[in-house]
């Protein structure tokens, strides 16, 4: 479990609680997922909390619920971002309660790889003659997000839009970032949490990002949500084994394919 040293500085969000008594049914999605069928309370690290697990395990669903619980657009952006492309969000947020510390964030943002294209389109919208969101592109570095690559626009957002002293949610940011840019993202994480006293919650598959020191890692498994350490994660062990012995790993994988034929 988390050590006392990890909680010397208070985060903006202390923990989250699932209101199990009012959940309509644990036989229906998303409450039937193991992560939620057994969830009661989850402690959040004051600096960085990672959600990891297989696709469909519920990590992004929980991150989305946290975003909605603190007033952020579930498709990404800030409190003032109001676009909605399709109502696919789960009902989880209605039953998730967050415990907040006396500290109040000065900023908040939900950076979501899946719907970042829609956010970029929203920021470029200038159909309203009295109000143009393009006037606020300076908060993203002054250049249209569509005029940059996916990775460049992600980095521009992280560098310019996230002002600090805030709570920031990231949903699989590695989807837009090369390995070298993921290392740059780690440096941005470090500045946000240490220099600017922010709190981050990150859903990721990236063994590079989850290497961030002084963080807690929650793995979403078939048995529920469990705390783990970096080197105990499957992401770390599989990546290490592959990089150490790529020929052996490829031979094993391709041999299985040949056997199936």
pLDDT at 1: 45
pLDDT at 5: 43
Query: What is the C-alpha to C-alpha distance for residues 222 and 205, in angstroms, rounded to an integer?
Result: 17
Q: What is the b/e burial string over 12-39, where b = at least 16 CB atoms within 10 angstroms of the residue's CB?
A: bbeebebeeeebeeeeeebbebbbbbeb
Question: Which strand (E) or helix (H) includes residue 155?
Answer: helix 150-156
Q: 256 phi and psi, to 5 degrees?
A: -60, -40
Tell me the pLDDT tens digit for each residue of 2-40: 443 444 567 899 999 999 999 999 999 999 999 999 999
What is the number of other CB atoms lying within 10 angstroms of the CB of residue 139? Answer: 14
- Token pair recorded at residue 114: 């899946």
Tell me what the pLDDT averaged over the chain comes to. Answer: 85
Asked whether residue 48 carries a pLDDT value surpassing 80, the answer given is yes
- Structural contact between residues 105 and 12, judged by C-beta atoms closer than 8 angstroms: yes
- Token pair recorded at residue 23: 């959940």
Question: Which strand (E) or helix (H) includes residue 166?
Answer: strand 166-171
pLDDT at 7: 45
Question: Which strand (E) or helix (H) includes residue 112?
Answer: strand 107-112
More confident residue, 162 or 75: 162
- Structural contact between residues 181 and 151, judged by C-beta atoms closer than 8 angstroms: yes
Name the band, by pLDDT with cuts 50, 70 and 90, for residue 112. confident
What is the number of other CB atoms lying within 10 angstroms of the CB of residue 134? Answer: 12
Name the band, by pLDDT with cuts 50, 70 and 90, for residue 157. confident
By CB atoms closer than 10 A (0-12, 13-18, 19+), residue 236 is: middle
Backbone φ/ψ region at 176: left (φ over 0), alpha (ψ -120 to 50), beta: alpha
- Per-residue H/E/C for 34-87: HHHHCCCEEECCCCEEEEEECCCCCHHHHHHHHHHHCCCCCCCECCCCCCCCCC
Range of lowest pLDDT (8-17, 54-63, 102-111, 221-230):
8-17
Tell me the pLDDT tens digit for each residue of 162-204: 999 999 999 999 988 999 999 999 999 999 999 999 999 999 9
Q: Let me know the angle formed at the C-alpha of 152 by 150 and 185, rounded to the nearest 5 degrees.
A: 105
Closest to 68 measured CA to CA, from 154, 171, 189: 171
Domains along the sequence of the chain with CATH: 4-228 (3.40.50)
Asked whether residue 100 carries a pLDDT value surpassing 60, the answer given is yes
- Helix, strand, coil % in the chain, rounded to nearest 5: 45, 20, 35
């Amino acid at each position: 479990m988390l050590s006392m040293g990890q909680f010397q500085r208070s985060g903006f969000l202390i923990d989250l609680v699932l209101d199990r008594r009012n959940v309509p049914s644990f036989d229906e999605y998303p409450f039937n997922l193991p992560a939620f069928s057994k969830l009661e309370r989850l402690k959040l690290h004051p600096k960085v909390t990672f959600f990891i697990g297989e696709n469909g395990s519920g990590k992004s669903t929980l991150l989305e619920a946290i975003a909605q619980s603190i007033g952020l657009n579930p498709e990404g952006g800030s409190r003032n971002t109001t676009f909605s492309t399709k109502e696919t969000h789960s009902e989880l947020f209605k039953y998730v309660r967050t415990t907040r510390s006396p500290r109040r964030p000065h900023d908040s943002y939900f950076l979501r790889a899946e719907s970042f294209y829609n956010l970029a389109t929203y920021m470029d919208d200038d159909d309203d003659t009295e109000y143009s969101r393009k006037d606020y592109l300076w908060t993203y570095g002054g250049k249209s997000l569509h005029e940059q690559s996916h990775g460049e626009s992600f980095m521009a957002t992280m560098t310019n839009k996230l002002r600090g002293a805030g709570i920031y949610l990231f949903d699989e940011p590695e989807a837009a970032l090369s390995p070298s840019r993921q290392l740059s993202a780690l440096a941005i994480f470090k500045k946000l949490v240490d220099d600017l006293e922010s709190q981050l919650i990150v859903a990721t598959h990236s063994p590079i990002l989850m290497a961030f020191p002084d963080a807690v890692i929650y793995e979403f498994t078939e048995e529920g949500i469990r705390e783990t350490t970096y080197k105990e994660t499957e992401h770390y062990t599989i990546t290490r084994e592959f990089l150490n012995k790529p020929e052996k790993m490829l031979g094993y994988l391709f041999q299985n394919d040949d056997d199936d034929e």
